[in-house]
Structure 1
């Protein structure tokens, strides 16, 4: 007898390549511009002052190298669908299990934080609206969007990215005009000299500079989405290198350029940690309508980040299910190539943001805790890419030699990146605000280790391989 279950089982378990070049390019840009830049940069400026420019430049440099390593790995074998596939192929089944589940978890908690932020942003426009209503609506909308074919995800992120790009370009244009015309606020004239004339570029010394790296890493979470989307991208050999190589220009313009303009128009000491410096600049300049629009942009940025998180997390769970590392039913796709059950499994956890909103004044503290944990977890993900690259060079020297998209200075840079990660972990432990979240993170990995042993025994008992095979497509 034909049942809904049998119908579902008959559907091929394959993702469709529905993302076009323009989707991938804008996804790469959108992944590099998120809530961390629009909102988190206010806190960063308050602790690091103008040295935040160097913080973003340093993190951006290493992120670019990580993405180059990821790009070479993905193009060395088009059978790789995610960096979880790369980890299990290069490091073993356990690594694929840990990397994929870790990345899924990091996006789930980031999405919960984004939905919490969406509820807070909505209060700017509707102060009397109960916060649980926009949170519930956002979670439901994200679920609906991700149940559509991947091309719809690409279209949504395409337009989300366009909005963010236009907003930042508008800010850059307005800031340049204010500098040229000698805009004055509270007797202080706009000048690029504000970057160094208020306590220098390191007003809080080395400690402030180090503290800036904590939220700085969170700002870049999502840039690796290009790698997650590669499995659903048309002509990845042509489009993936373009997206990755443009990262440096994006960081220079969107991160460094925008903050240089903001701190030139408004002395960094006047920026408030809990508010978006983008909104503050327009308000202080008297552009109230522009400030309202920027608040709307910040709102859509949080929605974009959460949308990307559901997409990426569901694809990780889909891969885990195909490997036998998650329930088999999560590996089903519908006739459009959408992993519907993986989407439902991931998105349903977003509704946990609703009770979180009733934490009252503790929400801000919870957001700091979550953002730090996300930053720590993503270091593990990025680290797996780097270690996999080291193994790849040793195991497949012929692939590396034939690669047309090599990582720069591939013998040395992976070790520099790993050394930088050690510095970042030390910086997370440096401040009490981020120390406990960093210390709590190993608990998650301990739970993963227990879960892995359980799944491993089950697979062995059933006579199944510890992971699925990866086809070699060169």
Structure 2
């Protein structure tokens, strides 16, 4: 955990510094004309060239699947609860900070890019990040952005390996995965679980070799399906958990879901909408073949290995007694 946190800190720092620099520099271009002979560009590009939302609601709906992919991993906050020293304080703080991170790194960056460059020209002349830095006079912008992209990819791999390995280790401890994955090294690292996680990543390399022109859409669609399944399970578990609480237990909750239960049902409806959109478009439809097939495979393996989930509460009572 320590090494994961150390690597992720530096990987994240590189991304954060780069995006903040781009946003600040972009605001300088928009408001003060930096790199544009002192002529402020303004934000008219947001509604020019066809108007705001030029492709209508359909364009927004078509982009949802790819947009959802950008939010993969937010559920990792919950995974860290078992590692945190004071989860009642740190987890709510982490969840609350997600809003501000989205506002700065997603909305802020897109606001700057779409204000400086017409939406229908983005990507035709290179990366908008590179173009923004070059406009500010940074000639080595391409090399800098390439370095940041590599560190971002490493960060994604780092997070994926950690979360998948830890989840598999936890499942094995609870009797929901083969017991071998619960074994750790002398320093507590679940090596077998991590090796399986790394092996899964190598499938992406194989797909990139076999179908390079389709692999990105396929992988993002399949990953999005996996995330949607995870989020649906989290929402259903949360709904069942809250219904099982007494009035006094509900009153004692330290961190409550905003507008429960309406917000939970709205989130479920939105996820169903995204799945429907994935089924509508041929390129993303592959996820609805692979995803359910993988779930069936997991179910078969569950019975093949004769797994017996551990009743945590009963185990705790027995150990306490």
TM-score, normalisation: structure 2: 0.89
1:166-205 counterparts in 2 under 5 A?
166-182=17-33, 190-205=41-56
Per the alignment, residue 413 of structure 1 pairs with: 263
Q: 1:369 aligns with which of 207, 212, 218?
A: 218
* Native 8 Å contact 2:11 2:155 kept in 1: yes
CA distance in 2, matches of 1:158, 1:210: 34
Per the alignment, residue 106 of structure 1 pairs with: none
Q: CA deviation digits over 1:260-290, x for unaligned, max 9?
A: 0011111111112896432343346653313
1:348 partner SS: helix
1:349-368 counterparts in 2 under 5 A?
349-359=200-210, 362-368=211-217
1:288 partner SS: coil
Per the alignment, residue 402 of structure 1 pairs with: 252
Q: Give 5+ residue unaligned stretches, structure 1.
A: 1-149, 460-464
Q: CA deviation digits over 1:365-384, x for unaligned, max 9?
A: 11110101110111110011
CA distance in 1, matches of 2:168, 2:27: 46
1:247-396 counterparts in 2 under 5 A?
247-272=98-123, 276-283=127-134, 287-359=138-210, 362-396=211-245
RMSD after superposition? 2.3
CA distance in 2, matches of 1:429, 1:421: 13
TM-score, normalisation: structure 1: 0.62
Per the alignment, residue 309 of structure 2 pairs with: 466
CA distance in 2, matches of 1:228, 1:213: 25
1:433 corresponds to 2:276:
no
CA distance in 1, matches of 2:90, 2:124: 38
Q: Give 5+ residue unaligned stretches, structure 2.
A: none
CA distance in 2, matches of 1:243, 1:295: 29
Q: Report the count of equivalent residues.
A: 312
* CA pair 212-285 structure 1, distance change in 2 beyond 3 A: farther
1:301 partner SS: helix
* Native 8 Å contact 1:271 1:280 kept in 2: no
1:363 partner SS: coil
* Native 8 Å contact 1:195 1:201 kept in 2: yes
Q: CA deviation digits over 1:365-424, x for unaligned, max 9?
A: 111101011101111100111111110111123432201211111121111111111111
* Native 8 Å contact 2:225 2:288 kept in 1: yes
2:140 partner SS: helix
